Structure 1
Amino acid sequence: MDIVVTGATGFLGRHVTHALETAGHAVLSVTRETSPAERSVRLRRADFVFHLAGVNRPDDPAEFTVGNVDLTELIATELLSYNPVPVVFASSTQAVEANPYGMSKRAAEDVLAVYGERAESRVHLYRLPNLFGKWGRPFYNSAVATFCHQIARGETVTVHDPERVLTLAHVDDVVASFLDALSTDVGLYPSVPTHTIGLLDVVRTLEAFEAMRTSRGVPDLSDPFTKQLYSTYTSYLPRERILTPLVMHRDARGSFTEFLKTPDRGQVSINVARPGITKGEHWHDTKHEQFLVVSGEGVIRLRPVGGGEVMTFHVSGETLEVVAIPAGYVHNIENVGTTDLVTVMWVNEPFDPVHPDTYAETVDMREVMEGGETR
């Protein structure tokens, strides 16, 4: 389909354009730089129109009428005269409010509602709440964008109205509904998923994300809104914070580096063993580990505490396999190759130096029975 997107370079327009092009549609962009003549050409060619352009922060309130009402009338007139195709309009929840912005959005809705009746074509008026997501302009598009920008840069955040409650919609959810409207009659006033949260709670959540990043933590992302907010926050990280150096605990045997630590999903670490080196030779009461060798050649050995069969697993970065280390099993990992052995290790609880839950013992029972020293 050939689809006109007005306001194509704006926050919402940019996301819609990307989604449409990804789906294989041809996007006919209309921006402030598009001449009236070229706008007319594109409207007459369109199979569908996403009217997303508008004014929300003018220097002169009169611009609300020009940017929201007059532009919509021009588009509706052009389509009605030459190309009566379906239209999606990005309105606002403020369309029911008695303020200049809300009244201009409501007037634009009325124009399109009349157009739909006369053109006998579908019109979908989305009364959108505050949107958030990547690519938002701080200090312009939304408070979420502003807070993300400030907290990611260590700047002071000022909340002027801590009692204020926000109704938010993630831009990806809005875009998904827009794309549904291409082939489905979603109604005159379609709804999108929304989330209600206090302004101060947004700040506290974002600050918690920052604290977790600093400590190599990861938040609980089982809640869809939290996951969307976390992804949004990370999209505002400045260049100097994209790369994070880790603390590598090195010795003659190799190194051990903590990558991610979570309170409820455990810890991920990277272990490097030099050729001929054996690491481990211990067991845990409650810790369950999983080892994944990603480079080099190694042997992982384990047996139940107190004796029993020694299980041996040959592992290699050439064939990715996960070896589970159950709680109560003595285990080690030996580098039998000629290059460093690199292992990704996951454990079901983060390391606690006060309660390490690690007990030295060799896998080889002969050393245990002969009183040999553990390694």
Structure 2
Amino acid sequence: MRILVTGAAGFLGSHLTDALLAEGHSVLGVDNLCTGSLANLSHLKHESRFEFAEHDICTPFDFGRVGYVFNFASPASPVDYSRLGPETLAVGSDGTKNALEVAKKYGAKFLHASTSECYGDPDVHPQTEDYWGHVNPIGPRSVYDEAKRFSEALIMAYYRYYGVDTHLVRIFNTYGPRLQKNDGRVISNFVMQALRGEDLTVYGDGGQTRSFCYVSDEVAGILGLSGTDEHLPVNVGNPHEWTILECAKAVLKVTGSASRIVYHPLPEDDPMQRQPDITKAKTLFGWEPKVDLETGLRLSLEYFRSCLTEETADLKMA
């Protein structure tokens, strides 16, 4: 099958591309590179089954017939969507609509990368897919949260009104190689700070919780969902709950760093709890994560050390 992956040069999009190619498909990757990097796809330069088009999906596009559309185009880290607020809203609306139009035209299946941020700072714990969320629609995080919530509504409309075979995955914190080193997310922040010998920055008292899913587990869950007949949202994340402070200590253990942990005020609208209920994923396609946090951190270390090496080289050249 020829498959379209939007956001293919991003962290998750590039890993998804690798997995689809490994299954024998051909992949057309589309990305405007506002947050993605061609370095994430450089290992595919001699792969005949991979094509790449640099394009902003907020502008209508058609690169020929495809059998599946995986819509992964969007700034996803706090640093990126804070910098690219209007662009984030646009890709969640115009960009998603244009990707849906491709699926509609060719009768292709469609899977959209949504997010646990749809739950906001939840009143329900753990979060089940039928929980509608507790989101500030005008806060500093709203450009991302509401873009994803609108895109879910748009996708369900294309399913209900036009019969597009759509799927919605709600992704929880995912980490691993190719995660941007300075993207403001917990794992990349902590690991890079530890490797640099800097203080690890914990916001609040560190008691807020997150679930951390290693990228190979996340991609396996996404592919599992893609083959089902389920059209409503499905959580794909690690149900093991970690406090931010526990995560910081795990990073210090794995890196062997002597860095200290320091505390800063909580950012506005930062969720206090995040833990997926994955009963639906287990029931529908037998998925649950296999990689624990410490193992995943060790699997990611070589990548983050290479980021530090490049950073040091750039400083010497400056």
TM > 0.5: yes
**Deviations for 1:15-48, whole angstroms, at most 9, x for unmatched residues?**
1011111221111111113266997333x41100
Conserved 8 A contact 2:58-2:98: no
Report the counterpart of residue 69 of structure 2 in structure 1: 49
Report the counterpart of residue 84 of structure 1 in structure 2: 107
Report the counterpart of residue 285 of structure 1 in structure 2: none
Structure-to-structure mapping, 1:180-259, within 5 angstroms: 180-194=224-238, 195-211=240-256, 224-238=292-306
- Are the structure 2 counterparts of residues 38 and 29 from structure 1 closer, same or farther at C-alpha, using a change threshold of 3 Å? farther
1:116 paired to 2:159? yes
The amino acid that maps onto 2:55 is T
In structure 1, what is the Cα distance between the partners aligned to 2:308 and 2:168? Answer: 41
Give 1:62 shift: 2.8
**Deviations for 1:263-305, whole angstroms, at most 9, x for unmatched residues?**
xxxxxxxxxxxxxxxxxxxxxxxxxxxxxxxxxxxxxxxxxxx
Report the counterpart of residue 131 of structure 1 in structure 2: 174
Q: How many residues align?
A: 231
In structure 1, what is the Cα distance between the partners aligned to 2:168 and 2:31? Answer: 20
- Are the structure 2 counterparts of residues 193 and 105 from structure 1 closer, same or farther at C-alpha, using a change threshold of 3 Å? closer
Equivalent in 89, 92, 95 of residue 65 of structure 1? 89
- Give the TM-score normalised by structure 1: 0.56
Conserved 8 A contact 2:4-2:66: yes
Conserved 8 A contact 1:55-1:68: no
Higher Cα radius of gyration: 1
Give 1:111 shift: 0.7
SS of 1:124's partner is strand
In structure 2, what is the Cα distance between the partners aligned to 1:192 and 1:232? Answer: 20
In structure 1, what is the Cα distance between the partners aligned to 2:201 and 2:70? Answer: 36
In structure 2, what is the Cα distance between the partners aligned to 1:67 and 1:211? Answer: 40
Conserved 8 A contact 2:58-2:94: no
**Deviations for 1:296-324, whole angstroms, at most 9, x for unmatched residues?**
xxxxxxxxxxxxxxxxxxxxxxxxxxxxx
- Are the structure 2 counterparts of residues 21 and 38 from structure 1 closer, same or farther at C-alpha, using a change threshold of 3 Å? farther
Give 1:121 shift: 3.4
Report the counterpart of residue 210 of structure 2 in structure 1: 166
Q: What's the % identity of the aligned pairs?
A: 25
Report the counterpart of residue 270 of structure 2 in structure 1: none
The amino acid that maps onto 2:2 is D
Structure-to-structure mapping, 1:1-375, within 5 angstroms: 1-32=1-32, 33-34=54-55, 40-42=61-63, 44-56=64-76, 57-59=81-83, 61-80=85-104, 82-95=105-118, 96=133, 97-99=135-137, 100=142, 101-140=144-183, 142-161=185-204, 162-194=206-238, 195-211=240-256, 224-238=292-306
Give 1:186 shift: 4.5
Conserved 8 A contact 1:132-1:170: yes
Give 1:240 shift: 8.6
Conserved 8 A contact 2:62-2:102: no
Bigger fraction of residues in helix: 2
Report the counterpart of residue 349 of structure 1 in structure 2: none
Conserved 8 A contact 1:6-1:31: yes
In structure 2, what is the Cα distance between the partners aligned to 1:113 and 1:50? Answer: 15
**Deviations for 1:186-209, whole angstroms, at most 9, x for unmatched residues?**
442223241311111111111111
Conserved 8 A contact 1:148-1:206: yes
Conserved 8 A contact 2:61-2:98: no
The amino acid that maps onto 1:84 is G
Report the counterpart of residue 254 of structure 1 in structure 2: none
In structure 2, what is the Cα distance between the partners aligned to 1:93 and 1:107? Answer: 14
- Give the TM-score normalised by structure 2: 0.65
The amino acid that maps onto 1:41 is D
Conserved 8 A contact 1:89-1:126: yes
**Deviations for 1:91-110, whole angstroms, at most 9, x for unmatched residues?**
11112323422111110111
Aligned-residue CA RMSD (Å): 2.8
Conserved 8 A contact 2:31-2:55: yes
SS of 1:145's partner is helix
> Can you give the 5+ residue segments of structure 2 that lack an aligned partner in the other structure?
33-53, 119-132, 258-289, 310-318
SS of 2:234's partner is coil
The amino acid that maps onto 2:150 is A
In structure 2, what is the Cα distance between the partners aligned to 1:115 and 1:103? Answer: 18
- Are the structure 2 counterparts of residues 127 and 112 from structure 1 closer, same or farther at C-alpha, using a change threshold of 3 Å? same
In structure 2, what is the Cα distance between the partners aligned to 1:170 and 1:201? Answer: 17
- Are the structure 2 counterparts of residues 229 and 185 from structure 1 closer, same or farther at C-alpha, using a change threshold of 3 Å? farther
Give 1:2 shift: 0.6
Identify which range, 26-35 or 106-115, moves more after superposition.
26-35
In structure 1, what is the Cα distance between the partners aligned to 2:147 and 2:229? Answer: 25
Which structure has more RCO (C-alpha within 8 Å, separation ≥ 6)?
2
Bigger fraction of residues in strand: 1
